[in-house]
Amino acid sequence: MAGGNWTRVEEFILMSFSSLPTEIQLLLFLTFLIIYLVTLMGNTLIILVTLADPMLHSPMYFFLRNLSFMEIGFNLVIVPKMLGTLLAWDTTISFLGCATQMYFFFFFGVAECFLLATMAYDRYVAICSPLHYPVIMNQRTRAKLAVASWLPGFPVATVQTTWLFSFPFCGTNKVNHFFCDSPPVLRLVCADTALFEIYAIVGTILVVMTPCLLILCSYTRIAAAILKIPSAKGKHKAFSTCSSHLLVVSLFYVSSSLTYFRPKSNNSPESKKLLSLSYTVVTPMLNPIIYSLRNNEVKNALGRTFHKALGLRNCIP
């Protein structure tokens, strides 16, 4: 395209679910609005309860609080604009707005990958070294681990977003997605993107597989430790402390892997949109539900918090 003429793109049009009938789009809007509100309320409640209840000041709930912060951020970046496109308020997004949305999508996505690995390590220490757990996972260590989980998002998001938006765009400005994800925006570039695509593939594999391998290593050790416990009750108690995390990890990795690692021949834009909904909209809503319904400590803390809020004196034992 050297020496070619093109108009500088100043805004993009998010196609979202425009191919669907208006009635279906309205139904999707109401559904996603409910999910969005439940997500914000659920994760905010987790943050407030783990801060307010002294029984939930352990490292596990410190990392859970960080996860809830990430899920709220993830939702705020994606869902409000998507809801607007479903009602056709404004399907356009500025060049800077698209770049900003993509930046924070990468940032929160990468940070969540590494935080899930950190949470797996926390469970490994708790189960395999229970006597040393308070010493190993002291306040300073958990703070360092949290920072180490958040930090990788910055360089990955900065390099990928800056590089992609430095390319020239020409022709159509229609992004066939409900948010500014890298693959649909990359299709609008009128330049040689081979090197960028290699970087994106290698970077995605490293970002996804490195935490995944750490999680597998942690749970391999955890499984070996649980099998050595003589009583069935002891095994069940040990497994129950990490079952919620395992379920959250499975939801996140299965949905994101199906989205980004499927063969292109099986990866139509519409199917990718549906898969993207699972980890951008549905999973952030399910995480607080999973941790509250499958965790007696959280359920009891919620009960105590509501009793206090209602001015009752009887606390749940």
- The residue extents of the domains of the chain are 11-297
Tell me the pLDDT tens digit for each residue of 140-156.
Answer: 999 999 999 999 999 99
- Our CA angle for 17, 7, 156, nearest 5°, is 60
Write out the CATH class of domain 11-297.
mainly alpha
Nearest to 72 by CA among 43, 49, 101: 43
What are 258's two structure tokens? 């199906």
Using one digit for the tens of pLDDT, what is the confidence trace for 289-298?
A: 888 766 777 7
pLDDT of residue 122 exceeding 90, the answer is: yes
Element (H, E) at 92: strand 92-94
pLDDT, tens digit, 9 for 90 and up, residues 50-103: 888 888 888 999 999 999 999 999 999 999 999 988 887 678 999 999 999 999
For residue 2, what pLDDT is reported?
Answer: 42
> What rounded mean pLDDT belongs to the chain?
86
pLDDT of res. 102: 96
Higher pLDDT, 269 or 213: 213
Under the banding of pLDDT at 50, 70 and 90, the label for residue 113 is: very high
Residues of the chain with pLDDT > 90: what percent?
48
Determine which helix (DSSP H) or strand (DSSP E) holds 20, and give its type and residue range.
Answer: none
Element (H, E) at 211: helix 194-227
Name the amino acid, one letter, at 115: L
Indicate whether 197 pLDDT > 80: yes
Q: What single string gives the DSSP state of each residue in 114-178? A: HHHHHHHHHHHHHHHSTTTHHHHT-HHHHHHHHHHHHTTHHHHHHHHHHHHTTS-B-S--EESSS
Which amino acid makes up residue 165? F
* 281, 79 Cβ separation under 8 angstroms: yes
Average pLDDT over residues 153-162: 95
Read off the pLDDT band of 264 (50, 70, 90).
Answer: low
- Residue range 118-139: average pLDDT? 92
